[in-house]
Amino acid sequence: MQAVVRDFPRIPTVALVSAASDTDPTAVLALGNCGVRTLVDVRYAAGWGHLRDVLGAEVTHDMDRIALGVLQQDLCEASPDCWRFFEALFTRTYSAPTIRVLARRLGVLPSTLMSRFFRAKLPPPKRYLALARLVRAARLFENPGLSVADVANHLDYSSPQSFGRHVKSVLAMNATDFRRRFDGHEMLRHFRETLVLPHMPALLHLRPLAQRTQGGEAVLASGPEAVTISVRPQQFRNPRSVDPSAASLIFAPKVPRLLQ
């Protein structure tokens, strides 16, 4: 068992408790020593639902890793905060149903995030979020045993009808046609060909998470990969107002350059 867990790290290994008798603690400890970190008790009805959620999470995590690997090659020359936005789209920690929630988790105002995409003449960030969620949905639909309701619940849609409306608004098709047309890789290809590859020049110069500081510079809202961006110093709003401390410099007589 230990060799199987070590040699196949991307394949989820789950221990099931299905016997009517009490679980032997020694057997559980032995599984833990072999590297098994997930145990699901299916002696109760809720256990099967938990097992489905565990396996579904592993499927979407696998698709997230694939998406980030492909996008990292496309955006290798992009700014750190631009990459952080795309990384958040396919990271479960930042997973969000709306762009407002995603922006808050990234430490930037939603209006700031949306305006920077607009000024760069890029599709709105909510479009990126919508298609990223559908990449996960297409990956889950590769499992014939999962229904539309299962996928909608796993991806935190309020209902299967809400998921259907989302697919209709984004791709102009119903959930059944979406399931038949796209798998995970095909949906990722659609994401890149629609939102990434045609906009590469703008994305390479995009800094969607930078915030101005009092020193006239801009840094990332949060995170270890902070970058500094030069910003034009703020001008006086009222040109007639003069700082008294600077009056002597302004009205001082000119000194010949040779005497300076």
**pLDDT digit string, tens, across residues 225-238:** 443 333 333 443 44
> Are 36 and 52 in the same domain?
no
- CATH number of the domain encompassing residue 158: 1.10.10.60
Kindly tell me if the per-residue pLDDT of 127 is higher than 90: yes
> Are 131 and 102 in the same domain?
yes
Predicted confidence (pLDDT) per residue in 203-230, tens digit: 999 999 876 544 444 455 544 344 333 3
> Are 14 and 55 in the same domain?
no
> Are 20 and 65 in the same domain?
no
Mean pLDDT of the chain: 76
Predicted confidence (pLDDT) per residue in 64-74, tens digit: 889 999 999 99
> Are 79 and 4 in the same domain?
no
> Are 7 and 77 in the same domain?
no
**Does 175 or 20 have the greater pLDDT score?**
175
The per-residue pLDDT for 253 is 45
What pTM does this model have? 0.64
Write out the residue range of the structural domain in which residue 39 sits: 1-43
3-state secondary structure the chain: CHHHHHHCCCCCCEEEECCCCCCCHHHHHHHHHCCCCEEEECCCHHHHHHHHHHHHHHHHHHHHHHHHHHHHHHCCCCCHHHHHHHHHHCCHHHCCCCHHHHHHHHCCCHHHHHHHHHHCCCCCHHHHHHHHHHHHHHHHCCCCCCCHHHHHHHCCCCCHHHHHHHHHHHHCCCHHHHHHHCCHHHHHHHHHHHHHHHHHHHHHCCCCCEEECCCCEEEECCCCCCCCEECCCCCCCCCCCCCHHHHHHHCCCCCCHHHC
> Are 131 and 10 in the same domain?
no
